[in-house]
Structure 1
Amino acid sequence: MTTRPLAVDADARDLAAAEHLVHRLDEVLGAVSECGAEPDVVQRSSWQGAAAKAYRASVERRQRRQGGRWAASGRRFRIPKRPLGAGQSEDAYVISTHVVREPTGRFVAVLNWPGGPAVEELTAILADQLPQAYVTPDSPAIDEAAARTAGRLARYPGRTAIETVTTVAAVEADSVVDAVEGLAGISLEPGDALDLTGFARPVWREGLCVLLVQRSATGLVPFEMRHQIPCCSDH
Protein backbone atom coordinates (compact mmCIF):
# COMPACT_ATOMS: atom_id res chain seq x y z
CA MET A 1 0.00 0.00 0.00
CA THR A 2 1.03 3.60 -0.49
CA THR A 3 2.97 4.63 2.61
CA ARG A 4 4.14 8.09 1.56
CA PRO A 5 2.30 11.01 -0.01
CA LEU A 6 3.21 11.99 -3.55
CA ALA A 7 3.38 15.48 -5.04
CA VAL A 8 2.12 15.89 -8.60
CA ASP A 9 3.38 19.07 -10.26
CA ALA A 10 1.83 19.86 -13.64
CA ASP A 11 2.74 23.58 -13.54
CA ALA A 12 -0.84 24.58 -12.72
CA ARG A 13 -0.82 28.38 -12.66
CA ASP A 14 -4.39 28.94 -11.43
CA LEU A 15 -7.25 27.16 -9.67
CA ALA A 16 -8.79 26.09 -12.96
CA ALA A 17 -5.59 24.28 -13.91
CA ALA A 18 -5.32 22.83 -10.39
CA GLU A 19 -8.86 21.46 -10.59
CA HIS A 20 -8.17 20.04 -14.04
CA LEU A 21 -5.18 18.20 -12.58
CA VAL A 22 -7.40 16.80 -9.82
CA HIS A 23 -9.89 15.54 -12.42
CA ARG A 24 -7.07 13.86 -14.34
CA LEU A 25 -5.86 12.21 -11.12
CA ASP A 26 -9.40 10.96 -10.54
CA GLU A 27 -9.38 9.30 -13.95
CA VAL A 28 -6.09 7.53 -13.32
CA LEU A 29 -6.81 6.56 -9.72
CA GLY A 30 -10.32 5.47 -10.65
CA ALA A 31 -8.89 2.95 -13.09
CA VAL A 32 -6.53 1.66 -10.39
CA SER A 33 -9.43 1.44 -7.92
CA GLU A 34 -11.44 -0.60 -10.39
CA CYS A 35 -8.52 -3.01 -10.59
CA GLY A 36 -8.50 -3.38 -6.82
CA ALA A 37 -12.27 -3.58 -6.51
CA GLU A 38 -12.66 -6.50 -8.90
CA PRO A 39 -12.70 -10.10 -7.64
CA ASP A 40 -9.31 -11.63 -6.87
CA VAL A 41 -9.22 -13.46 -10.18
CA VAL A 42 -9.79 -11.14 -13.13
CA GLN A 43 -9.96 -11.79 -16.83
CA ARG A 44 -7.38 -9.82 -18.79
CA SER A 45 -9.97 -9.10 -21.45
CA SER A 46 -12.11 -7.18 -18.94
CA TRP A 47 -9.47 -4.48 -18.53
CA GLN A 48 -9.45 -1.43 -20.73
CA GLY A 49 -7.61 1.87 -20.56
CA ALA A 50 -3.94 2.73 -20.34
CA ALA A 51 -4.05 3.37 -16.59
CA ALA A 52 -5.46 -0.08 -15.88
CA LYS A 53 -2.86 -1.64 -18.15
CA ALA A 54 -0.07 0.21 -16.37
CA TYR A 55 -1.34 -0.94 -13.00
CA ARG A 56 -1.69 -4.50 -14.24
CA ALA A 57 1.89 -4.44 -15.51
CA SER A 58 3.16 -3.20 -12.15
CA VAL A 59 1.27 -5.97 -10.34
CA GLU A 60 2.73 -8.55 -12.71
CA ARG A 61 6.25 -7.26 -12.06
CA ARG A 62 5.69 -7.49 -8.30
CA GLN A 63 4.28 -11.01 -8.63
CA ARG A 64 7.36 -12.07 -10.60
CA ARG A 65 9.65 -10.61 -7.95
CA GLN A 66 7.72 -12.54 -5.30
CA GLY A 67 7.85 -15.75 -7.29
CA GLY A 68 4.15 -15.79 -8.10
CA ARG A 69 2.84 -18.05 -10.88
CA TRP A 70 0.30 -17.24 -13.54
CA ALA A 71 -2.31 -19.67 -14.77
CA ALA A 72 -1.09 -21.77 -17.67
CA SER A 73 -3.61 -20.18 -20.01
CA GLY A 74 -1.95 -16.79 -19.54
CA ARG A 75 -5.36 -15.14 -19.44
CA ARG A 76 -6.01 -14.93 -15.71
CA PHE A 77 -4.05 -13.32 -12.90
CA ARG A 78 -4.58 -12.36 -9.26
CA ILE A 79 -4.96 -8.80 -8.00
CA PRO A 80 -5.35 -8.12 -4.28
CA LYS A 81 -8.53 -6.38 -3.27
CA ARG A 82 -8.03 -3.01 -1.65
CA PRO A 83 -10.60 -1.11 0.43
CA LEU A 84 -12.12 1.91 -1.24
CA GLY A 85 -13.71 3.44 1.83
CA ALA A 86 -17.25 4.72 2.05
CA GLY A 87 -19.07 6.24 -0.89
CA GLN A 88 -17.30 6.84 -4.19
CA SER A 89 -13.79 5.54 -4.85
CA GLU A 90 -12.63 9.17 -4.60
CA ASP A 91 -13.40 9.04 -0.88
CA ALA A 92 -10.55 6.57 -0.43
CA TYR A 93 -7.77 9.09 -1.03
CA VAL A 94 -6.95 12.66 -0.15
CA ILE A 95 -5.85 15.21 -2.75
CA SER A 96 -4.96 18.69 -1.59
CA THR A 97 -3.58 21.56 -3.67
CA HIS A 98 -0.85 23.83 -2.41
CA VAL A 99 0.82 27.00 -3.60
CA VAL A 100 4.53 26.47 -4.28
CA ARG A 101 6.43 29.66 -5.08
CA GLU A 102 9.83 28.39 -6.23
CA PRO A 103 11.02 28.56 -8.95
CA THR A 104 7.68 30.00 -10.13
CA GLY A 105 4.31 30.33 -8.42
CA ARG A 106 2.00 27.41 -9.15
CA PHE A 107 -0.36 24.88 -7.56
CA VAL A 108 0.97 21.43 -6.73
CA ALA A 109 -1.32 18.52 -5.88
CA VAL A 110 -0.49 16.23 -2.96
CA LEU A 111 -1.93 12.71 -3.09
CA ASN A 112 -2.26 10.60 0.05
CA TRP A 113 -3.74 7.14 -0.57
CA PRO A 114 -3.14 4.76 2.36
CA GLY A 115 -5.01 1.92 0.63
CA GLY A 116 -3.40 2.40 -2.75
CA PRO A 117 -0.59 0.55 -4.52
CA ALA A 118 2.99 0.67 -3.26
CA VAL A 119 4.45 4.13 -3.64
CA GLU A 120 6.88 2.99 -6.33
CA GLU A 121 4.07 1.46 -8.38
CA LEU A 122 1.82 4.49 -7.97
CA THR A 123 4.65 6.81 -8.95
CA ALA A 124 5.23 4.80 -12.12
CA ILE A 125 1.53 4.78 -12.99
CA LEU A 126 1.14 8.52 -12.51
CA ALA A 127 4.31 9.29 -14.43
CA ASP A 128 3.10 7.13 -17.31
CA GLN A 129 -0.44 8.53 -17.40
CA LEU A 130 0.44 12.16 -16.68
CA PRO A 131 3.58 12.66 -18.79
CA GLN A 132 3.32 16.45 -18.45
CA ALA A 133 3.58 16.22 -14.65
CA TYR A 134 6.50 15.70 -12.31
CA VAL A 135 5.72 13.11 -9.63
CA THR A 136 7.85 13.05 -6.49
CA PRO A 137 7.71 12.04 -2.81
CA ASP A 138 9.80 15.12 -1.93
CA SER A 139 8.15 18.53 -2.13
CA PRO A 140 7.44 21.48 0.19
CA ALA A 141 3.79 20.90 -0.66
CA ILE A 142 3.98 17.47 1.02
CA ASP A 143 5.50 19.03 4.13
CA GLU A 144 2.70 21.60 4.23
CA ALA A 145 0.04 18.91 3.85
CA ALA A 146 1.63 16.77 6.56
CA ALA A 147 1.69 19.71 8.98
CA ARG A 148 -1.87 20.65 7.95
CA THR A 149 -0.98 24.32 7.97
CA ALA A 150 -2.24 25.25 4.50
CA GLY A 151 -3.71 23.80 1.31
CA ARG A 152 -7.21 23.24 -0.05
CA LEU A 153 -8.70 19.76 -0.06
CA ALA A 154 -10.20 18.71 -3.38
CA ARG A 155 -10.70 15.04 -2.52
CA TYR A 156 -11.19 13.69 0.99
CA PRO A 157 -13.20 11.06 2.90
CA GLY A 158 -16.84 12.06 3.13
CA ARG A 159 -16.75 14.56 0.26
CA THR A 160 -19.40 12.79 -1.79
CA ALA A 161 -21.66 12.59 1.27
CA ILE A 162 -21.59 16.31 2.05
CA GLU A 163 -21.67 17.80 -1.45
CA THR A 164 -25.41 18.32 -1.27
CA VAL A 165 -27.88 20.40 0.73
CA THR A 166 -26.90 19.52 4.27
CA THR A 167 -26.28 21.03 7.72
CA VAL A 168 -23.30 22.22 9.70
CA ALA A 169 -23.61 19.27 12.08
CA ALA A 170 -23.85 16.73 9.24
CA VAL A 171 -20.75 18.10 7.51
CA GLU A 172 -18.71 17.76 10.69
CA ALA A 173 -20.13 14.29 11.41
CA ASP A 174 -20.03 12.75 7.93
CA SER A 175 -16.65 13.91 6.62
CA VAL A 176 -13.10 14.73 7.67
CA VAL A 177 -14.11 18.38 8.10
CA ASP A 178 -13.35 19.35 11.69
CA ALA A 179 -15.19 22.66 11.67
CA VAL A 180 -17.49 24.77 9.50
CA GLU A 181 -16.75 28.48 9.92
CA GLY A 182 -18.64 31.51 8.68
CA LEU A 183 -16.83 34.44 7.09
CA ALA A 184 -17.25 38.05 8.19
CA GLY A 185 -18.32 37.11 11.68
CA ILE A 186 -21.21 34.90 10.59
CA SER A 187 -22.45 32.87 13.55
CA LEU A 188 -23.39 29.28 12.77
CA GLU A 189 -25.61 26.78 14.56
CA PRO A 190 -25.35 22.98 14.13
CA GLY A 191 -28.72 22.85 12.37
CA ASP A 192 -28.02 25.65 9.89
CA ALA A 193 -28.57 24.54 6.29
CA LEU A 194 -25.67 24.61 3.83
CA ASP A 195 -25.91 24.30 0.06
CA LEU A 196 -22.73 22.44 -0.89
CA THR A 197 -24.23 20.86 -3.98
CA GLY A 198 -21.44 19.35 -6.07
CA PHE A 199 -18.57 21.40 -4.66
CA ALA A 200 -16.97 21.73 -1.22
CA ARG A 201 -13.30 22.62 -0.79
CA PRO A 202 -12.22 22.82 2.86
CA VAL A 203 -8.71 23.99 3.79
CA TRP A 204 -5.99 22.89 6.18
CA ARG A 205 -5.45 25.45 8.94
CA GLU A 206 -3.53 25.02 12.17
CA GLY A 207 -3.85 21.25 12.03
CA LEU A 208 -7.58 21.22 11.32
CA CYS A 209 -9.74 20.73 8.25
CA VAL A 210 -11.96 23.82 8.03
CA LEU A 211 -14.78 24.55 5.59
CA LEU A 212 -15.41 28.27 5.11
CA VAL A 213 -18.93 29.37 4.20
CA GLN A 214 -20.60 32.68 3.37
CA ARG A 215 -24.10 34.03 3.00
CA SER A 216 -25.67 34.39 -0.42
CA ALA A 217 -29.10 35.37 -1.67
CA THR A 218 -30.15 31.74 -1.29
CA GLY A 219 -28.52 30.99 2.08
CA LEU A 220 -25.19 29.62 3.26
CA VAL A 221 -22.82 28.45 0.54
CA PRO A 222 -19.09 27.63 0.34
CA PHE A 223 -16.67 30.53 0.23
CA GLU A 224 -15.08 28.92 -2.84
CA MET A 225 -17.77 28.06 -5.37
CA ARG A 226 -17.77 25.92 -8.50
CA HIS A 227 -18.90 28.64 -10.91
CA GLN A 228 -15.87 30.76 -9.94
CA ILE A 229 -13.53 28.21 -11.57
CA PRO A 230 -13.96 27.71 -15.34
CA CYS A 231 -12.65 24.14 -15.24
CA CYS A 232 -15.12 23.08 -12.59
CA SER A 233 -18.00 24.69 -14.42
CA ASP A 234 -17.33 22.23 -17.23
CA HIS A 235 -17.20 19.06 -15.06
Structure 2
Amino acid sequence: MTAFHSLSGVRTVIGVDAGTAGLREADHLIHHLVDVLGLPSGTAACTHLIRGTDRRSTVVSLALPDAATADAAWKRLVALLAGPDRATAGAVLGEREHGPAGAVACAAQAAAEHERRQGGRAVVFPGVERLTSTVTVGEVLTHTAIDRIVVLGAPPDAAGPDGDAQVVTRDHVRPEWHDGQLVLTLQPAAGGMLAPFEVPNPTPCCADHS
Protein backbone atom coordinates (compact mmCIF):
# COMPACT_ATOMS: atom_id res chain seq x y z
CA MET A 1 0.00 0.00 0.00
CA THR A 2 1.31 3.44 -0.85
CA ALA A 3 1.70 6.13 1.78
CA PHE A 4 -1.13 8.08 0.15
CA HIS A 5 -3.54 5.22 0.70
CA SER A 6 -2.50 4.41 4.25
CA LEU A 7 -5.07 4.78 7.02
CA SER A 8 -2.43 4.57 9.75
CA GLY A 9 -1.88 7.25 12.33
CA VAL A 10 -4.33 9.34 14.36
CA ARG A 11 -7.54 10.17 12.56
CA THR A 12 -10.58 12.18 13.52
CA VAL A 13 -13.93 10.40 13.17
CA ILE A 14 -17.39 11.95 12.94
CA GLY A 15 -20.43 9.78 13.69
CA VAL A 16 -23.79 10.61 12.12
CA ASP A 17 -27.19 9.07 12.90
CA ALA A 18 -29.72 10.41 10.42
CA GLY A 19 -32.23 7.63 11.02
CA THR A 20 -31.29 5.61 7.94
CA ALA A 21 -32.96 2.22 8.12
CA GLY A 22 -30.81 0.04 5.87
CA LEU A 23 -27.65 -0.28 3.81
CA ARG A 24 -28.99 1.27 0.62
CA GLU A 25 -30.12 4.43 2.39
CA ALA A 26 -26.95 4.61 4.49
CA ASP A 27 -24.71 4.21 1.43
CA HIS A 28 -26.62 6.99 -0.28
CA LEU A 29 -26.23 9.20 2.81
CA ILE A 30 -22.47 8.63 2.81
CA HIS A 31 -22.08 9.68 -0.81
CA HIS A 32 -24.35 12.67 -0.20
CA LEU A 33 -22.29 13.81 2.79
CA VAL A 34 -19.00 13.34 0.94
CA ASP A 35 -20.37 15.57 -1.82
CA VAL A 36 -22.10 18.32 0.15
CA LEU A 37 -19.44 18.56 2.87
CA GLY A 38 -16.63 18.64 0.31
CA LEU A 39 -14.72 15.82 2.00
CA PRO A 40 -11.20 15.09 0.64
CA SER A 41 -10.09 11.97 -1.19
CA GLY A 42 -8.43 10.56 1.95
CA THR A 43 -11.79 10.21 3.73
CA ALA A 44 -12.92 6.77 4.91
CA ALA A 45 -16.67 6.37 5.48
CA CYS A 46 -18.43 3.35 6.98
CA THR A 47 -21.87 2.06 7.85
CA HIS A 48 -22.64 0.59 11.28
CA LEU A 49 -25.73 -1.39 12.26
CA ILE A 50 -26.64 -0.28 15.77
CA ARG A 51 -28.51 -2.85 17.88
CA GLY A 52 -29.75 -2.96 21.43
CA THR A 53 -31.24 0.53 21.52
CA ASP A 54 -34.72 1.96 21.03
CA ARG A 55 -33.37 3.72 17.96
CA ARG A 56 -32.37 0.85 15.63
CA SER A 57 -30.71 2.33 12.58
CA THR A 58 -27.77 2.10 10.24
CA VAL A 59 -25.41 4.86 11.34
CA VAL A 60 -22.47 6.23 9.36
CA SER A 61 -18.97 7.32 10.36
CA LEU A 62 -16.59 9.64 8.54
CA ALA A 63 -12.85 9.39 9.25
CA LEU A 64 -11.03 12.56 8.17
CA PRO A 65 -7.28 12.89 7.55
CA ASP A 66 -6.58 15.59 10.15
CA ALA A 67 -8.13 17.73 12.86
CA ALA A 68 -8.46 20.85 10.70
CA THR A 69 -10.36 18.98 7.99
CA ALA A 70 -12.59 17.34 10.60
CA ASP A 71 -13.34 20.69 12.26
CA ALA A 72 -14.35 22.27 8.96
CA ALA A 73 -16.50 19.25 8.07
CA TRP A 74 -18.15 19.33 11.50
CA LYS A 75 -19.20 22.95 11.13
CA ARG A 76 -20.71 22.28 7.70
CA LEU A 77 -22.42 19.14 9.00
CA VAL A 78 -24.03 20.92 11.97
CA ALA A 79 -25.35 23.61 9.63
CA LEU A 80 -26.75 20.89 7.36
CA LEU A 81 -28.45 19.09 10.26
CA ALA A 82 -29.94 22.30 11.65
CA GLY A 83 -32.86 22.19 9.21
CA PRO A 84 -36.32 21.29 10.55
CA ASP A 85 -36.38 18.09 8.48
CA ARG A 86 -33.28 16.87 10.36
CA ALA A 87 -34.53 17.49 13.90
CA THR A 88 -34.10 13.84 14.89
CA ALA A 89 -30.56 13.49 13.50
CA GLY A 90 -27.53 13.38 15.76
CA ALA A 91 -23.78 13.69 15.30
CA VAL A 92 -20.60 13.55 17.35
CA LEU A 93 -17.00 14.61 16.90
CA GLY A 94 -14.92 13.84 19.97
CA GLU A 95 -16.58 15.73 22.81
CA ARG A 96 -18.78 17.76 20.47
CA GLU A 97 -22.41 16.69 20.10
CA HIS A 98 -25.39 17.77 18.03
CA GLY A 99 -28.97 16.54 18.17
CA PRO A 100 -31.14 14.49 20.54
CA ALA A 101 -29.50 12.18 23.06
CA GLY A 102 -30.59 8.90 21.45
CA ALA A 103 -29.20 9.80 18.06
CA VAL A 104 -26.01 11.18 19.60
CA ALA A 105 -25.46 7.91 21.49
CA CYS A 106 -25.79 5.86 18.29
CA ALA A 107 -23.50 8.24 16.41
CA ALA A 108 -20.92 7.98 19.20
CA GLN A 109 -21.02 4.17 19.06
CA ALA A 110 -20.36 4.20 15.32
CA ALA A 111 -17.53 6.70 15.63
CA ALA A 112 -15.90 4.64 18.40
CA GLU A 113 -16.08 1.43 16.36
CA HIS A 114 -14.45 3.12 13.40
CA GLU A 115 -11.82 4.83 15.50
CA ARG A 116 -10.85 1.52 17.12
CA ARG A 117 -11.06 -0.24 13.73
CA GLN A 118 -13.19 -2.92 15.29
CA GLY A 119 -16.33 -2.45 13.23
CA GLY A 120 -17.71 -0.74 10.19
CA ARG A 121 -18.45 -1.61 6.58
CA ALA A 122 -16.43 0.72 4.38
CA VAL A 123 -18.24 2.41 1.49
CA VAL A 124 -15.72 5.16 0.78
CA PHE A 125 -12.02 4.60 1.43
CA PRO A 126 -8.69 5.55 -0.17
CA GLY A 127 -8.32 3.86 -3.54
CA VAL A 128 -11.97 2.77 -3.89
CA GLU A 129 -12.21 4.66 -7.19
CA ARG A 130 -9.76 2.15 -8.68
CA LEU A 131 -12.00 -0.81 -7.89
CA THR A 132 -14.07 -0.92 -11.06
CA SER A 133 -14.57 -3.65 -13.63
CA THR A 134 -11.96 -6.42 -13.10
CA VAL A 135 -8.77 -6.00 -11.07
CA THR A 136 -6.21 -8.35 -9.56
CA VAL A 137 -5.84 -9.21 -5.89
CA GLY A 138 -2.41 -7.61 -6.00
CA GLU A 139 -3.80 -4.36 -7.36
CA VAL A 140 -6.42 -4.24 -4.60
CA LEU A 141 -3.80 -4.64 -1.88
CA THR A 142 -1.30 -2.28 -3.49
CA HIS A 143 -3.49 0.60 -4.53
CA THR A 144 -6.23 0.76 -1.89
CA ALA A 145 -6.58 0.93 1.89
CA ILE A 146 -7.68 -2.72 2.04
CA ASP A 147 -5.22 -4.61 4.25
CA ARG A 148 -6.25 -8.20 3.76
CA ILE A 149 -8.34 -10.38 1.45
CA VAL A 150 -10.02 -13.61 2.51
CA VAL A 151 -11.98 -16.10 0.42
CA LEU A 152 -15.28 -17.36 1.79
CA GLY A 153 -15.04 -21.00 2.83
CA ALA A 154 -11.24 -21.09 3.02
CA PRO A 155 -9.66 -22.41 6.25
CA PRO A 156 -9.02 -19.64 8.82
CA ASP A 157 -5.26 -20.17 8.61
CA ALA A 158 -5.18 -20.33 4.82
CA ALA A 159 -3.02 -17.90 2.88
CA GLY A 160 -4.88 -15.27 0.92
CA PRO A 161 -5.56 -15.66 -2.80
CA ASP A 162 -2.75 -15.37 -5.31
CA GLY A 163 -1.86 -11.81 -6.25
CA ASP A 164 -2.65 -12.49 -9.92
CA ALA A 165 -6.15 -13.77 -9.18
CA GLN A 166 -8.84 -11.77 -10.99
CA VAL A 167 -11.54 -9.99 -9.00
CA VAL A 168 -14.80 -9.03 -10.71
CA THR A 169 -15.67 -5.99 -8.60
CA ARG A 170 -19.16 -5.32 -10.03
CA ASP A 171 -18.27 -1.74 -9.05
CA HIS A 172 -19.38 -2.58 -5.52
CA VAL A 173 -16.63 -3.31 -2.98
CA ARG A 174 -17.43 -3.16 0.74
CA PRO A 175 -14.57 -4.29 3.03
CA GLU A 176 -15.06 -4.34 6.80
CA TRP A 177 -12.92 -3.48 9.80
CA HIS A 178 -11.81 -6.53 11.79
CA ASP A 179 -9.13 -6.44 14.51
CA GLY A 180 -7.54 -3.27 13.17
CA GLN A 181 -7.48 -4.34 9.52
CA LEU A 182 -9.71 -3.44 6.60
CA VAL A 183 -10.68 -6.89 5.29
CA LEU A 184 -12.37 -7.71 1.99
CA THR A 185 -14.26 -11.01 1.77
CA LEU A 186 -14.44 -12.60 -1.68
CA GLN A 187 -16.23 -15.64 -3.03
CA PRO A 188 -15.60 -17.82 -6.10
CA ALA A 189 -17.21 -16.51 -9.29
CA ALA A 190 -17.70 -17.82 -12.81
CA GLY A 191 -14.63 -18.53 -14.94
CA GLY A 192 -12.34 -19.15 -12.00
CA MET A 193 -12.54 -15.52 -10.91
CA LEU A 194 -13.37 -14.02 -7.52
CA ALA A 195 -16.05 -11.48 -6.59
CA PRO A 196 -16.96 -9.52 -3.45
CA PHE A 197 -19.26 -11.46 -1.13
CA GLU A 198 -21.68 -8.52 -0.90
CA VAL A 199 -23.65 -8.21 -4.12
CA PRO A 200 -24.63 -4.74 -5.39
CA ASN A 201 -28.39 -5.37 -5.32
CA PRO A 202 -29.00 -3.93 -1.81
CA THR A 203 -27.42 -0.61 -2.72
CA PRO A 204 -27.85 0.07 -6.48
CA CYS A 205 -28.26 3.80 -5.88
CA CYS A 206 -24.54 4.19 -5.26
CA ALA A 207 -23.79 3.66 -8.94
CA ASP A 208 -25.16 7.18 -9.35
CA HIS A 209 -22.25 8.51 -7.26
CA SER A 210 -19.40 6.82 -9.11
Q: Normalising by structure 2, what TM-score?
A: 0.74
Larger Rg: 1
Aligned-partner Cα distance in 2 for 1:103–1:159:
34
Q: 1:118 to 1:217 in 2, by over 3 A?
A: closer
Q: Give the structure 2 partner of residue 11 of structure 1.
A: 19
Among residues 132, 154, 165, which one is paired with 1:185 in the alignment?
154
Q: Give the structure 1 partner of residue 75 of structure 2.
A: 124
Deviation (angstroms), 1:24: 1.0
Q: What pairs with 1:220-235 in structure 2 (closer than 5 Å)?
A: 220-232=194-206, 235=209
Among residues 118, 122, 134, which one is paired with 1:149 in the alignment?
118
Structure 1 residues 172-221: Cα deviation after superposition (integer angstroms, max 9, x where no partner): 11111111111122872111000114221100011111011112335311
Alignment check: 8 A CA contact 1:144 1:151 kept: yes
Deviation (angstroms), 1:113: 1.1
Among residues 111, 128, 140, which one is paired with 2:62 in the alignment?
111
1:140 aligned counterpart, secondary structure: helix
Aligned-partner Cα distance in 2 for 1:169–1:5:
29
- 1:207 equivalent in alignment to 2:180: yes
Question: RMSD of aligned C-alpha atoms?
Answer: 2.4
Aligned length: 176
Aligned-partner Cα distance in 2 for 1:196–1:232:
14
Which structure 1 residue ranges, 5 or more long, are not aligned? 34-88
- 1:92 equivalent in alignment to 2:48: no
1:11 aligned counterpart, secondary structure: coil
Aligned-partner Cα distance in 2 for 1:172–1:213:
13
Structure 1 residues 80-139: Cα deviation after superposition (integer angstroms, max 9, x where no partner): xxxxxxxxx5x3211111122223221111111124745443222012224423221250
Deviation (angstroms), 1:230: 4.2
Q: Give the structure 2 partner of residue 56 of structure 1.
A: none
Aligned-partner Cα distance in 2 for 1:128–1:20:
19
Q: 1:229 to 1:100 in 2, by over 3 A?
A: same
Aligned-partner Cα distance in 1 for 2:65–2:73:
11
The aligned amino acid for 2:185 is: L
